[in-house]
Amino acid sequence: MKIRGWRTNLFRLIMPLAFLAFLLPGFSAMAVEGDATIGGQLYAGSRPMANGGAPCIACHAHPGFGAAGTASYGPDLSNLYTDYGAEGVAGVLESLAFPSMEAIFASRPLTARERLDLSAFFAQTADRKTAPAISLAGLILLGVVSVFAIVALLGLRRLKGVRQPLIDQVRKQRGM
């Protein structure tokens, strides 16, 4: 009874451990690498930061978000991963020790998960080309110019005199 009891206890002890061991590889892999997709969502602000921090896209430019995503309040992050490497990025994300960022993130730090996801995202997108050629300001300028061009084009037909051409026509006929 006793032996059997011990065996049962052992079994009871081993089974969860075995189960844990079975789960562990996946778990640890996630913990280490983070999810680049979730990182992307965090970056772009479609998934909110757990502590209420602002999404990176609000201030930084990074390829892959089109011209509307090329904010220029902070530095361009296109080469972040290439320059700093995985550890560098992780370090930066942990402290965010830049004067302008501190003000935002000191009271709203990124969680460990978020840092991992963002790192994964930066790692995954490291080979993307640098920020698009047309900045937002350039795009707005282009828009304004083209609107003016359209208006000017439409306005070409505007207010063409009637009387003067009649006079000119007669003068021409008479060779004046």
Partner 1 sequence: MDIRAQVSSVFHLDKCIGCHTCSIACKNLWTDRRGNEYMWWNNVETKPGTGYPTKWEDQEKYNGGWERVGTQLRLKQGGKAATIGKIFHNPDLPTMDDYYEPFTYKYADLTNAPAGTDQPTARAVSMVSGKPMKIEAGPNWDDDLSGSTVYAANDPGVIELSAEQQQQLFTIEKMVMFHLPRICNHCSNPACVASCPSGAIYKRGEDGIVLINQDKCRGWRMCVSACPYKKTYYGWSSGKSEKCILCFPRQEAGEAPACFHACVGRIRYLGVLLYDADKIEETAMKADGELAAAQREMILDPFDPQVLAAARKGGMAEQIIKAAQKSPVYKFVKEWGIALPLHPEFRTLPMLFYVPPLLPVLSTEHQGTQKLADDFFTSLEQARLPLMYLAGLFAGGNEEEVKAVYRRLIAVRIQRRAETVGDMAEAEVAKARELAGLDSKTLDAIYRMTSLTRIKERIQVPPMLREQAVEAGMDPEEYKQSMGFGSRKAPKRRW
Q: What is the C-alpha to C-alpha distance for residues 24 and 128, in angstroms, rounded to an integer?
A: 32
Report H helices in the chain. Answer: 2-33, 36-44, 80-95, 99-105, 112-124, 136-155, 163-173
Site residues (CB under 8 A) for partner 1, limited to 125-154: 151, 154
Q: Which window, 12-20, 73-81, 98-106, 164-172, contacts partner 1 (CB under 8 A)? A: 164-172
Q: What is the C-alpha to C-alpha distance for residues 63 and 82, in angstroms, rounded to an integer?
A: 14
Residue 141 C-beta: closest distance to partner 1, Å: 21
Q: Is 172 in the site for partner 1 (CB under 8 A)?
A: no
- Nearer residue to partner 1 within complex by CB, 100 or 146: 146
Residues in CB range of 90: below 8 A, 6 or more apart: 115, 119
Residue 176 C-beta: closest distance to partner 1, Å: 12
The residue within the footprint of partner 1, chosen from 161, 172, 175, 176 (CB under 8 A), is: 161
Residue 144 C-beta: closest distance to partner 1, Å: 15
Residue 156 C-beta: closest distance to partner 1, Å: 9
Q: What is the C-alpha to C-alpha distance for residues 91 and 98, in angstroms, rounded to an integer?
A: 12
Report H helices in 34-132. Answer: 36-44, 80-95, 99-105, 112-124
Q: Is 160 in the site for partner 1 (CB under 8 A)?
A: yes
Binding site for partner 1 (CB under 8 A): 151, 154-155, 157-164, 166-167, 170
